[in-house]
Amino acid sequence: MRISGKKYRTIWQCEDNPSVIKIIDQRLLPHEFCIIDLLNYKDSIDAISDMAVRGAPLIGGTAAWGMYLAALEMKEKNLKKIFLENAAKEISESRPTAVNLVWAINKVMEKVKGLEDNETIIKAIESEAKDICDEDVENCRKIGLHGLEIIKEIASQKRENEVNILTHCNAGWLATIDNGTATAPIYAARDAGIDVHIWVDETRPRNQGASLTSWELMHEEIPHTLIVDNAGGHLMQHGEIDLCIVGSDRTTRAGDVCNKIGTYLKALAAKDNDIPFYVALPDSTIDWSIRDGLKEIPIEERDELEVSEIRGISDGEVRSVKIINDETPCSNYAFDVTPRKYISGLITPRGVCKANEEEISKLYPEY
Ligand code: MRU
């Protein structure tokens, strides 16, 4: 994506010093565009758990580069391979829900199986981290092309050309390495000359919709309107939404989708109003080891402060303000599961399929 005319990915290796990994600090957006350095694998853990980086595919990419930083440290301190194994375990535990994290770590560990020489291990992990990131960009591009067909079809049935799409959280460029999952079809539609307008859910408590998706769409010059999380149902009842596209943090092999808290309620409202509800995801987000999303997906619970306070900018300074009394306890479930029966289809890099085991495995027979 371009920011002020310059093309960026969300994570990259420093050109001048390949042992430094660069990320955009998403905690400061949209108020400040700040690039920070990851210098060791503990930095990658902090970046993931404190959400300087977030979004399932980007969490996977950061985990892979974190393993590269761990390998550098292993060499520098002349440590044994157990150091790398421990780092893998620690990074895997930095956030629980997005399966891309463990997926990326497993891919990296698979590559270093049987390798003993530190230099060879570093090279192998570096190349794997690059591949994971490049593949994600390509996957998002393909998701865009497949999702475009859905938008085209809806545009062709409308008297006026504009297609109104609702999205939740940020499943955009910032959640991936580039392009986004849910946003890729939107960008492809714009490029194909279709007028789109996006309803952006604010996505309390971290406000990824308000802070990140709106910012991305503004830079891409896509018409959009920010709404409070509870407005989607009302807009659907009044014919203001033609289509919902969201991302996923973990999808089961049977098609249940875990995504940002509130996704389920949007899917229910979409079903009640006969509005297509699609989930865009790369295969790295499919957890092939589980079927029942409600029973088997670990749901992250985050700090109460994210609920009791709200962050924003005032007098040029980013700060948090308290919005509740001192006594009320808060709970902060970060994700929910949308059962497959509410999902119209999955938009994957290999095509669009129904959210059920048979259809998913037709696209992915190797699993
Ligand atoms: O808590 P976050 O911001 O990491 O949650 C992100 C989401 O829920 C996204 O919708 C999901 O990761 C899909 S990203 C392409």
Report the percentage of the chain scoring pLDDT > 90: 97
Alpha helices in the chain (DSSP H): 41-49, 56-76, 82-92, 100-111, 118-157, 184-191, 208, 214-219, 232-237, 263-272, 293-296, 305-308, 357-363
Q: How far is the CA of 267 from the centre of ligand 1 (A)?
A: 16
Which of 10, 23, 24, 54 to mutate to test ligand 1, by most ligand atoms within 8 A of the CB atom?
Answer: 54
What pLDDT is stored for residue 338 in this prediction?
99
Q: Is the pLDDT of residue 108 over 90?
A: yes
* Residue 134 burial class via C-beta count within 10 angstroms: exposed 0-12, middle 13-18, buried 19 and up: middle
335 CA closest ligand 1 atom index? 8
What is the mean pLDDT of the segment spanning 208-215? 98
- Per-residue pLDDT tens over the stretch 238-284: 999 999 999 999 999 999 999 999 999 999 999 999 999 999 999 99
Q: How far is the CA of 71 from the centre of ligand 1 (A)?
A: 28
Residue nearest to atom 15 of ligand 1 (CA): 171
Reported as a pLDDT band with limits 50, 70 and 90, residue 159 is confident
Instruction: Compute the mean pLDDT over every residue in the chain, rounded to the nearest whole number.
Output: 97
Q: Is the pLDDT of residue 138 over 90?
A: yes
Reported as a pLDDT band with limits 50, 70 and 90, residue 84 is very high
CB-CB contact of 91 with 42 (8 Å)? no
Q: d(Cα 132, Cα 178) in Å, to the nearest integer?
A: 12
pTM: 0.97
Which of 100, 259, 284 to mutate to test ligand 1, by most ligand atoms within 8 A of the CB atom?
Answer: 259
Q: d(Cα 218, Cα 202) in Å, to the nearest integer?
A: 15
Cβ < 6 Å from ligand 1: which residues? Answer: 54-57, 98, 169, 171, 175-176, 181, 208, 247-249, 259-260, 334
Report the percentage of the chain scoring pLDDT > 70: 100
Q: Is the pLDDT of residue 196 over 80?
A: yes
Active site (annotated) includes residue 249: yes
What pLDDT is stored for residue 161 in this prediction?
75
Active-site hit among 242, 249, 287, 336 = 249
Residue nearest to atom 8 of ligand 1 (CA): 260
What is the mean pLDDT of the segment spanning 332-340? 98
Reported as a pLDDT band with limits 50, 70 and 90, residue 4 is confident
Q: How far is the CA of 234 from the centre of ligand 1 (A)?
A: 24
- Per-residue pLDDT tens over the stretch 19-70: 999 999 999 999 999 999 999 999 999 999 999 999 999 999 999 999 999 9
